[in-house]
Structure 1
Amino acid sequence: GKAPPGGGANEWMVRSATGATLTVAASTIRRVPATRGSQVRVVMGESCGFVGVLLSADNGVGVLRSFGEAKKVRVLPLDALCVLAQECNQPEPGTVEIS
């Protein structure tokens, strides 16, 4: 998600799995922390777009291994990671989960 143009810190634009974009109140969004074994995507920095499994998470840093034949490893801040949707638990009614 991201803050909508003209909106404030109290609103976010969120794209759903169907591709629909919604504007939601910031108070209805909660962070889903990445944990060991989570499937994650890097959402900022030089490794943006890197997808893999989180091998370990300690002191704000995660070790990721890519999927596929050529296994690549990255060590990145946990704040740069987004848990892929299939890993998220169902949110409480009226809330949206992002990472």
Structure 2
Amino acid sequence: MLGLDAIFANELAVEDGKLTGLVSGPIADATVKAEVLTRLGEQYGVVRSQRVAVGDGANDLKMMAAAGLGIAIHAKPVVRAQAAASIEHHDLDGVLSLLQASGAALLRWDR
């Protein structure tokens, strides 16, 4: 189990037990992603400076701006340029390693 308190994502459409390649319901665009991160932060009492957003595309930049730490992962150059940290050669375990790094909690990540 991942042990997540919340998750928000586009829902992929399934027909006859197979993915159709379509999205079911509204698409989570840049604005929605930022709003959800802010709302969840407020709901769980997590101040902006302690919020983390991980993304790879330009549609993640608003969400990253709403977080105290924006991490680019296998990201487009525009995202890497604006992120406080960038991961290119690892999967999401690399994000966990970054967050658990000695002294990471003492750093100011927001730009």
TM-score w.r.t. the length of structure 1 is 0.26
**Larger strand percent:** 1
Q: For the pair shown, which has the larger CA radius of gyration, 1 or 2?
A: 2
